[in-house]
Amino acid sequence: MLDDFIQHALAQIDDLAELKVSLVALRLLELKESDTASVTARELATHPALRDGLGFAPQITLDSALQRATARGTLLRTNAESLGEPRYFLNNEASRRTIEAVELAEARRVAAKSTTTHLATRETLAAAMREIEWLEAIDAYPASPADEQLVEEWLAQGYTNDEIMRAVRAALSAPRPKGTPVRTLESCVTLLTANSPANPSAYYRIVVNRTDARTEPAPDEIIAFRELAGRWPNGHEFNLVQAAAGIFGARPAIEAMKRLIVQQHADVDALIPLLSEQEEAELALVRSRIIPDLMLRELIQLYELTFGLPPTSRIAQDIGTLASEINDLGVWRAAFQYAMSQNKRDWAYVRRLLLNPSPALFEPQPVNETAHFAFNEYKRRVSRVLDPSVAREINDVAQHVTDQSRWTYAFDRAASANALNWNYIKKVLTAPPDEKASEVKDARRKHVPGTRQRGVTRRPQVEESTEAEREAARERARQRIAERAKRRATLNGDDANRE
């Protein structure tokens, strides 16, 4: 998506709002992981990059930017009322078929028969009518509803306008015998379908060409249609069922089909409006339940902050179900935060984390560089798994002891004392600077003076004298020396007198 946008459209965009909206829309469509995924203007408006980055009138700026993105071909838009609000799709073949199926189904339900034909079908049918008029040498060729359905079926299989025109010319090239009725499009079916379309659609590969050994497996929603209706869908029904599954999900589409499809009668034109009404009703119900539930409301806000858009009704219901089992908000915050750190903004991934949390899930992030250093040292020298409670204590200590050399000294002291555990390391780090080493080393065993251990007599340990004590000892020594000198002088004087 983004690579194609950068290669073909980015150089032409000179409006910052259009660039922002296009990038956010493409990212949201990419996260939905479906060729027929869609977004609404309401989803885009709630994204932080657009909510805070489109100036003083974000809604007006968003509408104009979406118009420019649609005109440029970055996005496709459908205004089908059955979807509740305009939806924007990625500009690809699958999305175009989805939009065509939705709009045609709506036209068939609310408009007259003369206007039910979709634009692509109407253009191809008009070209075929002109070709038949010329080949059959008649003034006018009145198209019948069967002709409209036939052209729609061909287009659904993947035949292009040129392929259909070539088949019409080849089938009607021989002059019509006089007195015979005018040949119709029905006369061209055999010649056209004798060859596969150059770019066969999914409908052709899955339904029409089922005799081919390389046939693709049918999606669940198409299998459900066959079981309910007793037949495979035609092109219009196939595209409409695929569109419903792409927009609302396969499971809701299958449940809705159970109400609309019976043997030999399939009202698939009502499928999209029914799903749209159900989704709106479910969303309203979920919202009404969320209002009094503070925890669930906080979880919905956490989802919006993480993914940039509100959850769908099905995801909101899933969150509510899990909230009844996992009622610790810390676990939810840790799961969302870990998913963001792994750049996996996907609800299915967060759900797996909540149901099967790993030890690394709840590890707090380091508060500073010192804490980051301490985390790595602890994992390298003490334990590969850092307990969340130990990580929180390391963060607390790292805010006061920021010198990494002191942490290295503490780990070294613990290793030399054969006490590599957090309690010992913490006591070394938090010990007062003037505290004696003997008071810090709690893990070492104290020995009684004069006792024998392992066959060795331990001498009493002499405490180191202070500077004042050493100075007093030196003063006493000087006094003793002076007294001895005085006594010697006195003795010498007495000996001289006697002589």
Each residue of 149-161: pLDDT tens digit? 888 888 888 888 8
pLDDT cut 70: percent of the chain above it:
81
Task: State the average pLDDT over residues 270-275.
Answer: 80
Please tell me the predicted confidence (pLDDT) of residue 116: 42
- Identity of the amino acid at 207: V
pLDDT beyond 60 at 42: yes
Please tell me the predicted confidence (pLDDT) of residue 292: 43
- Select the more confidently predicted residue: 284 or 18: 18
pLDDT beyond 80 at 422: yes
Number of residues that make up the chain = 499
- Select the more confidently predicted residue: 491 or 153: 153
What are the structure tokens assigned to 241, written together?
């069922």
- Select the more confidently predicted residue: 386 or 371: 371
pLDDT beyond 60 at 279: yes
Confidence bin at 272 (pLDDT 50/70/90):
confident
Please tell me the predicted confidence (pLDDT) of residue 386: 74
pLDDT beyond 70 at 497: no
- φ/ψ of residue 378, rounded to 5: -65, -45
- Select the more confidently predicted residue: 80 or 74: 74
- Cβ neighbours, 10 Å, residue 365: 11
75 sits in which H/E element:
strand 75-78
- Select the more confidently predicted residue: 281 or 387: 387
Please tell me the predicted confidence (pLDDT) of residue 72: 84
456 sits in which H/E element:
strand 456-457
Please tell me the predicted confidence (pLDDT) of residue 43: 82
Please tell me the predicted confidence (pLDDT) of residue 444: 47
Cα 200 to Cα 149, 205, 245, 483, 494, distances in angstroms = 18, 7, 21, 122, 138
Cα dihedral sign, 99-104-109-112: positive
- Select the more confidently predicted residue: 117 or 205: 205
Please tell me the predicted confidence (pLDDT) of residue 194: 84
As to burial, measured by CB atoms within 10 angstroms (0-12 exposed, 13-18 middle, 19+ buried), residue 462 is exposed
pLDDT beyond 80 at 120: no
pLDDT beyond 80 at 395: yes
DSSP secondary structure letter of residue 178: T
- Sorted by sequence, the CB contacts under 8 Å of residue 321 that are 6+ apart come out as none
- Select the more confidently predicted residue: 55 or 399: 399
Cα 108 to Cα 101, 112, 116, distances in angstroms = 11, 7, 5
pLDDT beyond 80 at 419: yes
What distance lies between CA 423 and its chain's CA centroid?
40
Please tell me the predicted confidence (pLDDT) of residue 110: 56
Least confident of 129-138, 146-155, 334-343, 357-366: 357-366
Domains and CATH numbers, the chain: 2-91 (1.10.10.10), 113-273 (no CATH), 291-362 (1.10.10), 369-440 (no CATH)
Q: What tens digit of pLDDT does each residue of 314-356 get?
A: 788 888 888 878 877 777 887 887 787 777 778 888 888 888 7
- Select the more confidently predicted residue: 360 or 373: 373
pLDDT beyond 80 at 252: yes
DSSP secondary structure letter of residue 442: T
- Identity of the amino acid at 436: K
Task: State the average pLDDT over residues 358-380.
Answer: 79
Please tell me the predicted confidence (pLDDT) of residue 115: 39
Q: What tens digit of pLDDT does each residue of 216-226 get?
A: 788 888 888 88
Give the Cα separation of 211 and 209 in Å (integer): 5
What distance lies between CA 475 and its chain's CA centroid?
81
Give the Cα separation of 365 and 392 in Å (integer): 9
pLDDT beyond 70 at 211: no
Q: Which of 124, 130, 133 is nearest to 152 (CA)?
A: 124
Top-ranked range on mean pLDDT: pick from 95-99, 143-147, 335-339, 377-381 = 377-381
Top-ranked range on mean pLDDT: pick from 118-122, 312-316, 484-488 = 484-488
pLDDT beyond 60 at 241: yes
pLDDT beyond 60 at 182: yes
